[in-house]
Chains A and B, each alone.
Chain A
Amino acid sequence: MAVISYREALRAAMRDELNRDKNVVIMGEEVAQFNGAYKVTEGLLKEFGPKRIVDTPISEAGFIGLGIGASMLGIRPVMELMFWSFSYVAFDQIVNNAGNIRYMSGGLINCPIVIRGPANGGTNVGATHSHTPEAILASHPGIKVVCPATPYDAKGLLKAAIRDNDPVYVMENTILYNDKGEVPDEDYIVPIGVADVKRIGTDLTIVAHGRAVITSLKAAEILEKDHGVSVEVVDLRSIRPLDEETILKSVRKTHRALLVEENKPFCGVDAQVAYLIQSKAFDELDAPVHRVSSIDAPQIYCKRMEDLQMPSVERVVAEALKVLA
């Protein structure tokens, strides 16, 4: 098994699917000649040519809408947003069109479109470029949202997304692009809607997604080493659909839950997860459910403060100790 980066894993997924299905098209700002704003699509233009790898103008509502329209006729566009923050100028297309057309047509039409790109803070770029809209988008029935945390999941989830017949929004993380991990060369997918227990433990369940999984795994090591606590880390991988069973199974085992996400707290993904745990595992809990999320303000520019605004290993450890107290 090769050890490759998260970025290379995404590229491998796209290359596989471009080879497998002639209707797959990669489209977005700077994806072709420039080789990708983050080099995720590097080399694909050379390999597949300009019909399959298409540079777009800076015109998100236009090109995302174009991709949705093309998907209704059987094209399988994989659209790159340079930042998921830019989805906000294409919101009508992403939500009203891709998310509603199947429903409003009584099931006559489907939109097999993938929109992917980074959705994260922590890069010192200020509020407009640091949005994490997974909860906003997942709150719309008709849309699927996944957030891979590792290279293996990045490749497997993106391949599953491209083969999916519904709109799937893949939220990546620029800070993870260089992270390396083992990724099979052979064909595989990570089914959408299946969480992954990234670390097995007995005393506390941490539920996280995206980079918060990596933060939580580091916190779990410290909790074990310094505090003798055995922590289980559940990586959601998919926000909608949500693997409720894996969350509940873990909580029923550990009887304590801490929810970690890089979103702001209000109506975040973990608000839904907390509701799930209290409604389906209330009697199993030995302590209230706690959350760690970003401090509730627009993303601050100052790098030193931004690092504190987002869930850090230290904050996760401190909050875990409160749940365990």
Chain B
Amino acid sequence: MAKPAVLTHPESLKHPAGPSAYAKDPVNASMTKEAKIALYTKMARIRHFEQRCIRIYQQGKIGGFLHLYVGQEAVAAGTISLLGKNDHLITGYRDHGHGLMVGMGMNECMAELTGKVTGCSQGKGGSMHYFAPDKNYWGGHGIVGGQAPLGTGLAYAVKYQGLKGSCLTFMGDGAVNQGAVHEAYNLASLWDLPVIFVVENNGYSMGTSQERSTAHPGCLAKRAEGYNMAWDVINGHDVYEVRAKTALALKRAHEESKPTVLEIFTYRYFGHSMADPDKTYREKEEIKTYRDKKDPVLLFEQELLHEKVLTPELSQTINDAAMAEADKAAIFADESPDPTLADITKHIYWEEDNRGPKTTSRGTIIFE
């Protein structure tokens, strides 16, 4: 096997173990003890939900693709924990962590994976297509980079309506070479839109390392300079750093209506999807290094133990509860009914689902 290219995460790998340099950043220092415990709990819930998914997938109950977020928890947790009522988010297909962070329930998320009518999209979306617009979460999109113009449009709508808000538009490092992303960058900067492009750089676009896929000037975020946009790089293993630097981008969006590109260095422990045997493009040792030294959930746990916010007992309780919640969700997903044959042709058109005196179209719209 050819030696895989070295990941461009030197900054994050150099980050010393021990207390985060960003713990004293105002956005973190101002957190209550309860808020910190809640943030840790959410990260633990993502971890245990995803690990429970693996078992269900291996039992053959999840079809299609399953892209796990294990290892990347601090990215969704750090960024989304900062959002207010006029802040929106949208992402690609590795979307479970974001869903749980905005407050989607494990039951609806798990049932969506098994294609049940109790799922968040009633079994019509699957793993890659979670949505919770009532929580400002606009998906869950399957085509790499295709969500970038949508997120820019959500930010446009917020600005049009005169609201002080933003749209966090997440994507993977593989998305940065898609034309739609570059078109979105251009529009965001040209029109001063309050959008924050978050590149979750886990080093691999599927099985192709960043070095083999992307020409870049040292980091992916720096491409923002070509569009006259602000940018920053973040160690995505430190949730405090994610929060501190994302807060600056949010401030820029809220107060100046300007976009930002944030590149967050992170790592996924499992293959691109469960269909990826993960044997050809990276060394096992690399995964072990990240698991042992850079795990974002363990690092935040240590941080909070150090701060005496957490105790080992409380941490154990939180993790046990998250595991139990995931187990219950698995049972819920298992026992829920499938959508019916008649459900196949629902939710295609708003008008067909809302027939009434005000709907005007006629004719055949669903064909035999």
Interchain CB contact under 8 A, A244 and B363 = yes
Which residues between 170 and 204 of chain A lie within 8 Å of chain B, taking CB atoms?
189, 191-195
Interchain CB contact under 8 A, A96 and B146 = yes
- Taken together as a complex, chains A and B put the C-alpha atoms of A160 and B148 apart, in Å, by 29
Q: Is B37 an interface residue (CB 8 A)?
A: no
Apart from A69-B153, A73-B153, A241-B361, what 20 extra A-B contacts exist at CB < 8 Å?
A59-B186, A65-B148, A65-B183, A69-B152, A92-B143, A92-B146, A93-B146, A103-B124, A103-B348, A105-B121, A105-B124, A105-B139, A105-B347, A108-B121, A193-B362, A194-B363, A238-B363, A242-B367, A243-B362, A272-B367
Q: Is B15 an interface residue (CB 8 A)?
A: no
Report if A61-B125 is in contact (Cβ < 8 Å); known contacts: A51-B160, A102-B347.
no
Interchain CB contact under 8 A, B363 and A107 = no
Interchain CB contact under 8 A, A65 and B146 = yes
Interchain CB contact under 8 A, A67 and B360 = no
Closest to A194 in B: B362
Q: Is A221 an interface residue (CB 8 A)?
A: no
Q: Which residues of B contact A101 (CB under 8 A)?
A: 131, 139
* Contacts across chains A and B counted by CB atoms under 8 Å: 193
Q: Which residues of A contact B365 (CB under 8 A)?
A: 144, 193, 240-242
Closest to B129 in A: A104
Closest to B353 in A: A107
Report if A193-B363 is in contact (Cβ < 8 Å); known contacts: A65-B149, A106-B122, A165-B351.
yes
Q: Could you list which residues of chain A lie within 8 angstroms of chain B, going by C-beta atoms? A: 25, 51, 56-57, 59, 61-75, 92-93, 96-97, 101-110, 112, 141-142, 144, 160, 163-166, 189, 191-195, 238, 240-245, 272
Q: Which residues of A contact B190 (CB under 8 A)?
A: 57
Q: Which residues of A contact B90 (CB under 8 A)?
A: 69
Interchain CB contact under 8 A, B360 and A62 = no
Which residues between 76 and 120 of chain B lie within 8 Å of chain A, taking CB atoms?
88, 90, 119-120
Interchain CB contact under 8 A, A65 and B150 = yes
- Taken together as a complex, chains A and B put the C-alpha atoms of A74 and B158 apart, in Å, by 10
Interchain CB contact under 8 A, A105 and B131 = yes
B229 to chain A, nearest CB (A): 14
Q: Is B237 an interface residue (CB 8 A)?
A: no
Closest to B145 in A: A92
Interchain CB contact under 8 A, A69 and B347 = no
Closest to B153 in A: A69
Closest to B156 in A: A70
Q: Which residues of B contact A92 (CB under 8 A)?
A: 143, 146, 180
Interchain CB contact under 8 A, B149 and A93 = yes
Interchain CB contact under 8 A, A192 and B361 = yes
- Taken together as a complex, chains A and B put the C-alpha atoms of A120 and B11 apart, in Å, by 55
Q: Which residues of A contact B349 (CB under 8 A)?
A: 102, 142, 144, 166
B166 to chain A, nearest CB (A): 12
Q: Is B1 an interface residue (CB 8 A)?
A: no
Interchain CB contact under 8 A, A66 and B153 = yes
Report if A107-B346 is in contact (Cβ < 8 Å); known contacts: A62-B183, A192-B361.
yes
Q: Which residues of A contact B120 (CB under 8 A)?
A: 106
A-B contacts, 13 of them at CB < 8 A, read A62-B180, A63-B187, A65-B153, A70-B157, A72-B157, A73-B153, A97-B141, A104-B129, A105-B129, A110-B350, A163-B360, A242-B367, A243-B362
Closest to B136 in A: A73
Closest to B141 in A: A97
Q: Which residues of A contact B204 (CB under 8 A)?
A: none
Leading 7 A-B pairs by shortest Cβ distance: A69-B153, A65-B149, A62-B183, A193-B363, A241-B363, A69-B150, A107-B347
A92 to chain B, nearest CB (A): 5
Interchain CB contact under 8 A, A69 and B121 = no
Interface string of B165-195 (1 = CB under 8 A from A): 0010000000000011001101100100000
B333 to chain A, nearest CB (A): 15
Interchain CB contact under 8 A, B348 and A141 = yes
Q: Which residues of A contact B180 (CB under 8 A)?
A: 61-62, 65, 92-93
Q: Which residues of A contact B187 (CB under 8 A)?
A: 56-57, 59, 62-63, 66
Interchain CB contact under 8 A, B125 and A97 = no
Contact among A59, A62, A160, A166 with B350 in the assembled complex (CB-CB below 8 Å): A166
- Taken together as a complex, chains A and B put the C-alpha atoms of A142 and B349 apart, in Å, by 6
Report if A65-B158 is in contact (Cβ < 8 Å); known contacts: A104-B139, A240-B365.
no
Q: Which residues of B contact A59 (CB under 8 A)?
A: 183, 186-187
B139 to chain A, nearest CB (A): 7
Q: Which residues of A contact B146 (CB under 8 A)?
A: 65, 92-93, 96-97
Closest to B343 in A: A106
Contact among B121, B157, B354, B363 with A73 in the assembled complex (CB-CB below 8 Å): B157
Q: Which residues of B contact A57 (CB under 8 A)?
A: 186-187, 190
Report if A109-B131 is in contact (Cβ < 8 Å); known contacts: A57-B190, A75-B160.
yes
Q: Is B364 an interface residue (CB 8 A)?
A: yes
Q: Which residues of A contact B138 (CB under 8 A)?
A: 69, 72, 109
B31 to chain A, nearest CB (A): 29
Q: Is B133 an interface residue (CB 8 A)?
A: yes
Interchain CB contact under 8 A, A75 and B156 = yes
- Taken together as a complex, chains A and B put the C-alpha atoms of A62 and B189 apart, in Å, by 12
Report if A102-B362 is in contact (Cβ < 8 Å); known contacts: A25-B160, A70-B157.
no
Q: Which residues of B contact A25 (CB under 8 A)?
A: 160
Interchain CB contact under 8 A, A74 and B364 = no
Q: Is B234 an interface residue (CB 8 A)?
A: no
Closest to B120 in A: A106
B247 to chain A, nearest CB (A): 23
